[in-house]
Amino acid sequence: MNTQGRFWLESTSVLLVSREGGFVVTPGLSAPRRIDCQELSEPQRNKLQRVLEELDRQGSIHRSADVGGTADSPSDSHGDARRNSGAAPAGADGRWFRVTLEISSSLPSREWELDERAAPSSLIGLWKRGVQILDESDD
C-alpha cells in the first residue's frame, strides 16, 4: 500500500463480498463470496484490482481496520456510518454490499459498503458468479 491510500492486491490477499440487509432475513440469499488471490492469474488479479478501484472512485463507505480491529471511519458502528454518509438503502427492505479486503497480516484490511442500487455491475457479477466474472470481457 502506498502513502496515498492506494492499495495493491497481493497473492495473499483475500476478498469477501456479501449482500446484506433487507426486510426478510434469509441468510442463504446473502451468498457471501470468498475470493482468494493466490488462486487467481495475473490478469484476473488486475481485473479485480480495477473493480476495487471503481469502488473507491464511487465514494462508497470505506473503512480500514488495523490488525486489532479498530476502524478509522467516523463511526465504529456500520449502521451509524451508513446513516451519516447517506449510503443507507432507502426503505426497510433496502440492501447493501459489504466488500472486505484482507491484504495481508501486516497491513490493515479495507472495507467498502454501498447501496445495492449504486453497486457497479462488476461488483454484482463478483457476488453472483465469483471469479468466473474475472475471465469475461469488459465489452
Q: Which pLDDT score is estimated for 76?
A: 36
What pLDDT band is residue 82 in, cutting at 50, 70 and 90?
very low
pTM of the model: 0.70
Q: What DSSP line would sit under 95-135, residue for residue?
A: EEEEEEEE-BTTB-EEEEEEEGGG--HHHHHHHHHGGGGGG
Q: Which pLDDT score is estimated for 136?
A: 81
- pLDDT tens-digit series, residues 117-131: 889 999 999 998 888
- pLDDT tens-digit series, residues 27-58: 556 668 999 999 999 999 999 999 999 888 87
Q: Exposure pattern of 94-105 as b/e (b: 16+ CB <10 Å)?
A: bbbbbbbbbbee
**Cell output for 135:** 475471465
- pLDDT tens-digit series, residues 7-25: 678 888 999 999 887 766 5
Q: Interhelix angle for 121-129 vs 42-58, to 10°?
A: 130
Q: Is 46 helix (H, G, I), strand (E, B) or coil?
A: helix
Nearest Cα to Cα of residue 122 among 132, 112, 111: 132
Residue 134 has pLDDT above 80, yes or no: yes
DSSP designation for 41: -
